[in-house]
Amino acid sequence: MKNTTSEPATSASQSTQPINNQEKILTGDRATGALHLGHFVGSLQQRMQLQHQFAQTILVADMQGLTDNGHNPKKVSSNILNVVADYLAVGIDPLKTTICLQSALPALAELTMYYANLVSIARLERNPTVKTEINSKSFGRSIPAGFLTYPISQAADITAFRATLVPVGEDQLPMLEQTNEIVRRLNTIAQQDILLECKPLLSKVSRLPSVDGKSKMSKSMGNTIMLGSSQKDISKAVKSMYTDANHLRVSDPGQVAGNVVFTYLDAFHQDEDYIADLKAHYSAGGLGDGTVKKILEECLQDLLAPIRVRRATLTSDPSQLIAILKQGTERSQDETNDVLAQVKNAFGLNLF
């Protein structure tokens, strides 16, 4: 498999600035579902590499998950340990990476309240990612205040850990921009640089398409392959994958661009020359979809089999998952409380 081993992080990074070992990394995931192959290529692989070189924290963002699930909190509470199990099953090492729980770090919520005074509603409404989400969820004026303001909470997350490098997908860039605005405002008020600005670390792999090639991957739409998927589900998903609608006979030339099977082969198959030959053959005609799908299925089964086994073992003992999450959270209390104290101090709220 490509990039699954513990190699240096340089190949995974696309940062324009040089990275030094002093960088502190924070990433996070909303705890609204178990993780899928899109997370694997988009962020998990990169985190596995980064953990060998940097101080890295991963935040299980349960509070952020609630911002659009206030009426369905089970979607969040029931997925916290699923996300932790996925991290560990793919190879995130809790001895190297601190895994912690957002709702159990009170400093994050407090910081959010202080930062909220530095951000206007107009600015929040201009955030392009939030704007897209608001439209797709058809919130209208009923948008939860927590949802509109989640970029502020994310700024609290990032600054509370003094993170300087945040590995994210493109959709998260507006959050980092807003974070840095808050940092600059706060530092101006404090008249010293108490908070650090952060830089994005963009993943090299662009967004993995859903199995149907049409929409965003989502577990509920059944168009994705979860990290814990059974052998049968993987097989079913690959068989149903979108290829080239005009590729009717094996002898017909097929189109590789937009063909989900080839997009997945590019993302997961380790032999690039072999895939290049396969594409040439497919484009010229004479290679059937079934054959290509079989090659992809084998590749995905090989990748996910050990992950599935480790995941099953991990989820069979939730107390171990809870202990790991609790330890990481405890380790983060002092650090986040310290940043909170400095921010309160900047506002002169330090009587006792």
Q: What is the DSSP letter of 104?
A: G
Give min distance, CB of 246 to ligand TRP, in A: 36
Q: Which one, 56 or 263, has the nearer CB to ligand TRP? A: 56
Q: Which residue is nearest to ligand TRP (CB)?
A: 28
Q: Which one, 136 or 316, has the nearer CB to ligand TRP? A: 136
Strands 165-168 and 97-101: unpaired
Q: Who contacts 189 (Cβ-Cβ below 8 Å, separation ≥6)?
A: 346, 347
Q: Which one, 45 or 154, has the nearer CB to ligand TRP? A: 154
The residue ranges of DSSP E strands in 14-89, in sequence order, are 24-30, 55-61
Distance CA 325, CA 100 (A): 5
Which residues bind to ligand TRP, rule: CB under 6 A? 26-30, 59, 61, 64, 154, 157-158, 166, 168, 172
Q: Are 309 and 157 in contact (CB under 8 A)?
A: no
Give min distance, CB of 292 to ligand TRP, in A: 32
Q: Which one, 154 or 315, has the nearer CB to ligand TRP? A: 154
Q: Which one, 254 or 328, has the nearer CB to ligand TRP? A: 328
Characterize 301-335 residue by residue with b for buried, 16 or more Cβ atoms within 10 angstroms of its Cβ, and e for exposed.
eebbeebbebbeebbeeeebbeebbeebbeebeeb
Give min distance, CB of 81 to ligand TRP, in A: 17
Give min distance, CB of 125 to ligand TRP, in A: 18
Q: Who contacts 194 (Cβ-Cβ below 8 Å, separation ≥6)?
A: 186, 187, 339, 342, 343, 346
Distance CA 280, CA 273 (A): 11
Give min distance, CB of 298 to ligand TRP, in A: 31
Give min distance, CB of 143 to ligand TRP, in A: 17
